[in-house]
């Protein structure tokens, strides 16, 4: 398990922003919860004020696509290019479902996806990603706020 610090995140996100700048995205859809911190950084870096979120739940642990429920009420008024953000495409089932859902629900809008990590065994490859994941990533947002940590 590899600890992924804020400093590493900052540098990776800057690299990701360089890849994203030319696409002129007008809105961001965050996949909850994993994409929240990254979306915030990207929205500031690209100066995109329209940030929405989408939530998924697995019926069970089988990770089959049909078992993913999407809770979403996105609204896009006159928007043509939307960036979908998550931290990692691991199994890829979540992002695959979310991208299919958005493409189906909002025809005429172009959706692209960005993550920090991509696993080669994923069933979905994001349009933009920075690192290949070969180990479990211990993201700072999952580690730094756990109850038993002391306040320094």
**Residue 123 beta carbon to a copy of itself: minimum distance, rounded to whole angstroms:** 22
19 versus 121: smaller Cβ distance to a copy of itself: 19
Rounded to an integer, what distance in angstroms lies between the CA atom of residue 80 and that of residue 25?
Answer: 8
**SS3 assignment, position 86:** coil
125 versus 141: smaller Cβ distance to a copy of itself: 141
45 versus 68: smaller Cβ distance to a copy of itself: 45
∠ Cα 63 29 82 (to 5°): 115
**Residue 142 beta carbon to a copy of itself: minimum distance, rounded to whole angstroms:** 5
11 versus 62: smaller Cβ distance to a copy of itself: 11
Residues binding a copy of itself (CB under 8 A): 6, 10-11, 13-15, 17, 21, 30, 32-33, 36-37, 39-45, 49-53, 55, 57, 71, 73, 75, 141-142, 144-147, 149, 151-152
- Do the Cβ atoms of 150 and 115 come closer than 8 Å? no
Place of tokens 């909002």: 106
**Residue 118 beta carbon to a copy of itself: minimum distance, rounded to whole angstroms:** 20
**Residue 70 beta carbon to a copy of itself: minimum distance, rounded to whole angstroms:** 12
Check the CA dihedral 64-114-100-50 and report its sign: positive
Rounded to an integer, what distance in angstroms lies between the CA atom of residue 69 and that of residue 13?
Answer: 29
Strand partners, 82: 27, 111
């Amino acid at each position: 398990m590899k600890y992924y610090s804020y400093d590493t995140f900052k540098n990776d996100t800057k690299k990701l922003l360089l890849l994203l700048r030319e696409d002129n995205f007008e809105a961001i859809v965050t996949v909850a919860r994993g994409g929240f911190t990254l979306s915030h950084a990207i929205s500031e870096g690209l100066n995109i004020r329209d940030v929405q979120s989408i939530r998924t739940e697995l019926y069970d642990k089988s990770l089959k696509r049909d078992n993913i429920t999407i809770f979403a009420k996105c609204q896009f008024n006159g928007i043509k290019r939307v960036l979908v953000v998550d931290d990692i495409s691991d199994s890829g089932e979540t992002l695959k479902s979310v991208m299919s859902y958005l493409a189906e629900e909002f025809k005429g809008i172009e959706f692209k996806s960005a993550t920090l990590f991509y696993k080669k065994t994923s069933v979905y490859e994001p349009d933009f990603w920075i690192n290949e994941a070969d180990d479990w990533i211990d993201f700072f947002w999952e580690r730094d706020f756990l109850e038993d940590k002391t306040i320094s």
